[in-house]
Amino acid sequence: MANAPDVGELTPPNRTLMGPGPSDVHPRVLKAMSTPLVGHLDPSFIDIMNDVQELMRYTFRTDNQWTIPVSGTGSASMEAAIGNLVEPGDTMLVPTNGYFGGRMESMAERAGGNVVHVDAPWGEPLDPVDVQEAFDEYQPDVFGFVHAETSTGVKQPNVSELTSIAHDHDALVVADTVTSLGGVELEVDDWGIDVAYSGPQKCLSCPPGASPLTLNDRAMDKVLSREHSPRSWYLDLSLLEGYWGEERAYHHTAPITNVYAIREALRLVAEEGIENRWDRHLEVASALKAGVEAMGLGLNPEDDYWLPSLNAVLVPDGVDAGEAISYVLEHYDLEIAGGLGALAGDIFRIGCMGYSAKPKNVSFLMTALGEALEAQGADVDVDAGFSAMREQLSR
Amino acid sequence: MANAPDVGELTPPNRTLMGPGPSDVHPRVLKAMSTPLVGHLDPSFIDIMNDVQELMRYTFRTDNQWTIPVSGTGSASMEAAIGNLVEPGDTMLVPTNGYFGGRMESMAERAGGNVVHVDAPWGEPLDPVDVQEAFDEYQPDVFGFVHAETSTGVKQPNVSELTSIAHDHDALVVADTVTSLGGVELEVDDWGIDVAYSGPQKCLSCPPGASPLTLNDRAMDKVLSREHSPRSWYLDLSLLEGYWGEERAYHHTAPITNVYAIREALRLVAEEGIENRWDRHLEVASALKAGVEAMGLGLNPEDDYWLPSLNAVLVPDGVDAGEAISYVLEHYDLEIAGGLGALAGDIFRIGCMGYSAKPKNVSFLMTALGEALEAQGADVDVDAGFSAMREQLSR
């Protein structure tokens, strides 16, 4: 048997995080994570759970009782939503316009569902006409869409139109709000979203580990009247109801420290005010957008469905995206990312999320990215970019 | 829509945690959790992942390549083990001698498996003779047992005998080591355990959120040659292989901070030395055991299968367990717990785990518990208890 490994102190580099997530974490949230633990059944922890639920409802813009942090990262809240809502034999309609629609499909199939598609190209939103046609053709029980597609930088407009179509067909709507919650306008109740899930490490700037999920009564009625148990015990909402509901009975050990962290991250949302927070993201991302465009770079999505929290910037001709990404990481400790799937190699994905959404980071990004592109001989006008960025910031 | 909730600063009480987990977290681990994040695909995070895997192998006493932290609390690593290993139509043999055998059953059924039982009373271990009979009768594909049963305080002896029976029948063995890993002798490779899962918040004294799992090649061969995908996408080990294996491809966002924390917690194991750590748990728990026995209290399990990390102390006649538990919480900020299931009301569950396993905590426990029992008029000899505890500690 091996001797004890000799592993040194934890000394990760000091990155600035402007990729698709995680974003930079606010110092108050980091501090909350070093708080000594109480037990997950401690009477004082129940107050903390209540605080988190109340703050999360505020951030989702919902009155849903069933608003909880799921004990895992964003894909866990996603699978909790889909795995509980989709019963064997159900039909789920999913989009094909990005990476995360594909993940919805895989989860729905594993839940025993039949999957049908509504198509749009990567980089474009769903068209309500297509959604209407898909409903008429397939009569799905559940409709999933991605409000803020992290793989393409597209914000889905017309959400209320989509949910109306679904409700006219007695279907339930699941929204992926991973990259919108806390950064981009999102109105769960007013828009008629039945179930929304998110991650904490995007616009909430909280370390991943406990992930927001909200379901209205109509969705919970379906969950609680299932004929067969969901296929995951860990993510079974009818059991989690016992812990997060009035009974407060033991199900599994909650990730206590992550609950502390999301409480503090959501407190920061409440202090700033949710509308102010949306405005800040829009203003800072507008400066980023103006800057890169004046440098000579295009954004992939059209302006009508540009997603401020995740900017899909087209890679200029002759530039190797991976090389530029490595350049800014090595020279500036700055994280940005490349494209996925159909957009691999074609875009940079530059996050403007939560604590990272500030003028300091945008200037830094412009400096680093401009240099990385010039190093590859790209035809970019960095001076013009800075000028446009500053002008936008001063508005 | 509601106004922003006015939620105050996080100020949980300062508990001493001697229940069934979480245990008190070492200050170095708390400090690691406030470290700023790098991205989950950052080159520097790959080194951190490698460190964690190496330290985890040391702690499990295994050379298994497939040794990873699962992105959730202990029940997530448990469901990752069972949900990947059990295919629809497989038969899994599970024990009935505690709470967590029942959880195994529920997870195996949700995975599509047929469940059969090997019986023993709550508070007793499995008898190899019964396991042999169950194998002869049912020919199960997978056999699950609980090495350290948190609900009863029983340590399963004869592990090598059990695994031999299983291997003679070509079955795979899954061990629940939630309350033994890092605190009680555990030899994954030498004992022939194919798959072991654990939680970080017990003898590793790490906040819950990333949970140890190890599989040998034989088990991974079964996982990677499944006909149908496992029923959870989030916990699909064939996909996680892409992230934790050589490819380092994106699957889901890892709980970065929890990985930092478990790295530090496992470093503390390596610094102390795993055998020294087992010895410390045994010595400190022996003092606790000697103390409560000399006070006049019995332990539920027989000495041969007493579990040092979780002491199931019999509640004396006339004492209301819940009242005593509330007393020590309110008067001493000390967490202990009561029994579950068949032992509800009959036992106190007193943890002696990780950073909580120290003489200071045992003296404190004796003081608080003695007073709580005297407050209910119980016939206990606290002086004799202290004397026996001190004598044991001075050995």
What is the tens place of the pLDDT at every residue in B115-168? Answer: 999 999 999 999 999 999 999 999 999 999 999 999 999 999 999 999 999 999
Query: What does the pLDDT look like over B49-68, one tens digit per residue?
Result: 999 999 999 999 999 999 99
Picking from B17, B39, B63, the nearest residue to A17 by CB comes out as B39
Q: Is B353 helix (H, G, I), strand (E, B) or coil?
A: coil
Q: With 60 as the cut, is the pLDDT of residue B44 above it?
A: yes
Determine, for residues A255 and B208 on separate chains, whether the beta-carbon distance falls below 8 Å.
yes
Q: Which of A6, A10, A176, A329 to substitute to test the interface with B, most B CBs within 10 Å?
A: A10
- Mean pLDDT in residue range B297-312: 96
Query: What does the pLDDT look like over B330-383, one tens digit per residue?
Result: 999 999 999 998 899 999 999 999 999 999 999 999 999 999 999 999 999 999
Task: Give the pair of three-digit tokens for residue B276.
Answer: 């020294």
For residues B356 and B24, the answer to whether their CB atoms sit within 8 Å is yes
Determine, for residues A110 and B57 on separate chains, whether the beta-carbon distance falls below 8 Å.
no
Q: How many residues does chain A have?
A: 395
> What is the DSSP secondary-structure string of B197-247?
E--SSSTT---SSSEEEEE-HHHHHHHHT-SS--S-STT-HHHHHHHHSTT
> How many angstroms away from the CA of B319 is the closest CA of chain A?
21
As a whole number of Å, the end-to-end CA separation of chain B is: 65
Determine, for residues B12 and A54 on separate chains, whether the beta-carbon distance falls below 8 Å.
no
| ipTM exceeding the 0.95 mark | yes
- Name the nearest CA neighbour of B77 among B220, B200, B227: B200
In the prediction, which pLDDT does A221 show? Answer: 97
| Mean pLDDT, chain B, integer | 96
For residues A142 and A119, the answer to whether their CB atoms sit within 8 Å is no
In the prediction, which pLDDT does A242 show? Answer: 86
In the prediction, which pLDDT does B247 show? Answer: 84
Q: With 60 as the cut, is the pLDDT of residue B272 above it?
A: yes
**Residue B196: count of CB within 10 angstroms of its CB:** 30
In the prediction, which pLDDT does A395 show? Answer: 86
- Mean pLDDT in residue range B258-280: 98
Q: Which amino acid is at B381?
A: D
> Which residues from A are below 8 Å from B10, CB to CB?
32, 35, 48, 260, 263-264
If DSSP states are collapsed to H, E and C, what string results for A148-200? EECCCCEECCCHHHHHHHHHHCCCEEEEECCCCCCCCCCCCCCCCCCEEECCC
Q: Is B269 helix (H, G, I), strand (E, B) or coil?
A: helix
Q: What H or E segment, with its residue span, contains residue B334?
A: strand B334-335
In the prediction, which pLDDT does A1 show? Answer: 55
Q: What angle do CA B115, B118, B119 make, to 5 degrees?
A: 125
Q: What H or E segment, with its residue span, contains residue B68?
A: strand B66-70
A311-330 residues touching B, CB cutoff 8 A: 329
- Percent of chain B with pLDDT strictly greater than 90: 95
Dihedral pair phi/psi, residue A187, rounded to 5°: -130, 85
Q: Which of A28, A34, A63 to substitute to test the interface with B, most B CBs within 10 Å?
A: A34
Q: With 80 as the cut, is the pLDDT of residue B2 above it?
A: no
Determine, for residues B75 and A233 on separate chains, whether the beta-carbon distance falls below 8 Å.
yes
**pLDDT tier at B250 (50, 70, 90 boundaries)?**
confident
- Cα–Cα distances in Å, from A272 out to A53, A105, A264, A275, B79? 18, 36, 12, 8, 39
C-alpha–C-alpha distance, residues B104 and B123, integer Å: 18
> How many angstroms away from the CA of A328 is the closest CA of chain B?
12
Q: Is B39 helix (H, G, I), strand (E, B) or coil?
A: coil
Query: Cβ of A274 under 8 Å from any chain B Cβ?
Result: yes
Query: What does the pLDDT look like over B82-94, one tens digit per residue?
Result: 999 999 999 999 9
Give all domains of chain A, ordered by start, each with its CATH number: 27-271 (3.40.640.10), 274-393 (3.90.1150.10)
Query: Cβ of B225 under 8 Å from any chain A Cβ?
Result: no
> Which residues from B are below 8 Å from A270, CB to CB?
4-7
Query: Cβ of B351 under 8 Å from any chain A Cβ?
Result: no
Picking from A19, A109, A257, the nearest residue to B209 by CB comes out as A257
Query: What does the pLDDT look like over B208-222, one tens digit per residue?
Result: 999 999 999 999 999
Determine, for residues A44 and B107 on separate chains, whether the beta-carbon distance falls below 8 Å.
no
C-alpha–C-alpha distance, residues A63 and A310, integer Å: 28
Dihedral pair phi/psi, residue A327, rounded to 5°: -60, -50
Q: Is B180 helix (H, G, I), strand (E, B) or coil?
A: coil
For residues A122 and A152, the answer to whether their CB atoms sit within 8 Å is yes
In the prediction, which pLDDT does B327 show? Answer: 98
C-alpha–C-alpha distance, residues B196 and B156, integer Å: 14
If DSSP states are collapsed to H, E and C, what string results for chain A? CCCCCCCCCCCCCCCEECCCCCCCCCHHHHHHHCCCCCCCCCHHHHHHHHHHHHHHHHHHCCCCCEEEEECCCHHHHHHHHHHHHCCCCCEEEEECCCHHHHHHHHHHHHCCCEEEEECCCCCCCCCHHHHHHHHHHHCCCEEEEECEECCCCEECCCHHHHHHHHHHCCCEEEEECCCCCCCCCCCCCCCCCCEEECCCCCCCCCCCCCEEEEECHHHHHHHHCCCCCCCCCCCCHHHHHHHHCCCCCCCCCCCHHHHHHHHHHHHHHHHHCHHHHHHHHHHHHHHHHHHHHHHCCCECCCHHHECCCEEEEECCCCCCHHHHHHHHHHHHCEECEECCHHHCCCEEEEECCHHHCCHHHHHHHHHHHHHHHHHCCCCCCHHHHHHHHHHHHCC
Q: With 70 as the cut, is the pLDDT of residue B1 above it?
A: no
**Residue B393: count of CB within 10 angstroms of its CB:** 17
Q: What is the pLDDT along chain A (395 residues), one digit of tens a residue?
A: 568 999 999 999 999 999 999 999 999 999 999 999 999 999 999 999 999 999 999 999 999 999 999 999 999 999 999 999 999 999 999 999 999 999 999 999 999 999 999 999 999 999 999 999 999 999 999 999 999 999 999 999 999 999 999 999 999 999 999 999 999 999 999 999 999 999 999 999 999 999 999 999 999 999 999 999 999 999 999 999 889 888 888 889 999 999 999 999 999 999 999 999 999 999 999 999 999 999 999 999 999 999 999 999 999 999 999 999 999 999 999 999 999 988 999 999 999 999 999 999 999 999 999 999 999 999 999 999 999 999 999 98
> Which residues from B are below 8 Å from A45, CB to CB?
12
In the prediction, which pLDDT does A134 show? Answer: 98
In the prediction, which pLDDT does B162 show? Answer: 98
Determine, for residues B207 and A106 on separate chains, whether the beta-carbon distance falls below 8 Å.
no
C-alpha–C-alpha distance, residues B69 and A209, integer Å: 13
Q: What H or E segment, with its residue span, contains residue B95?
A: strand B91-95
In the prediction, which pLDDT does A248 show? Answer: 83
Determine, for residues B14 and A35 on separate chains, whether the beta-carbon distance falls below 8 Å.
no
Residue found by looking up tokens 């996680």 in the block: B240
C-alpha–C-alpha distance, residues A128 and A130, integer Å: 5
> Rounded to a whole number, what is the largest CA-CA distance in chain B?
65
C-alpha–C-alpha distance, residues A175 and B214, integer Å: 35
In the prediction, which pLDDT does B48 show? Answer: 96
- Percent of chain B with pLDDT strictly greater than 70: 99
Determine, for residues B48 and A72 on separate chains, whether the beta-carbon distance falls below 8 Å.
no
- Cα–Cα distances in Å, from A205 out to A65, A154, A354, A355? 24, 20, 5, 6
C-alpha–C-alpha distance, residues B174 and B195, integer Å: 5
> How many angstroms away from the CA of A336 is the closest CA of chain B?
10
